[in-house]
């Protein structure tokens, strides 16, 4: 009834986009806010 799941830590999407040279253009195009996913205003 208690299970341990090993988590892996990899490079984030941000890091990999930066390495690929596409992050700056992307962030210029889309405004990033870490709270954007928390959609309090939407009626779930």
Partner 1 sequence: VVDEPITNHLDSSYFGEISIGTPPQNFLVLFDTGSSNLWVPSTYCRALPSSPSRAVNHAKFQPNESSTFTYNGQSFTLSYGRKLTWRPLPLQIQSITVTNQEFGLSENEPTQPFYYADFDGILGMGYPSLAAGGTPTALQGMLQQNQLTQPIFSFYFSRQPTYSYGGELILGGVDTQLFQGDIVWAPVTQELYWQVMLDEFAIGQSATGWCSQGCQAIVPADGAPAVPGQLRSGRGRPADQLWLNCNEVQNMPTITFVINGAQLPLYPSAYVLNNNGYCTLGIEATYLPSQNGQPLWILGDVFLKEYYTVFDTGNNRIGFATS
Residues that bind partner 1 (CB under 8 A): 1-17, 20, 22, 26, 30, 32-41, 44
Distance between start and end Cα atoms, the chain: 31
Distance of closest approach, residue 43 Cβ to partner 1, in angstroms: 11
The DSSP output letter for 21 is T
Question: C-alpha angle 18/22/26, rounded to 5°?
Answer: 105
């Amino acid at each position: 009834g208690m299970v341990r799941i090993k988590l892996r830590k990899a490079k984030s999407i941000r890091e990999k986009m930066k390495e690929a040279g596409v992050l700056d253009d992307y962030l210029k195009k889309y405004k990033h806010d870490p709270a954007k996913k928390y959609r309090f205003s939407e009626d779930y």
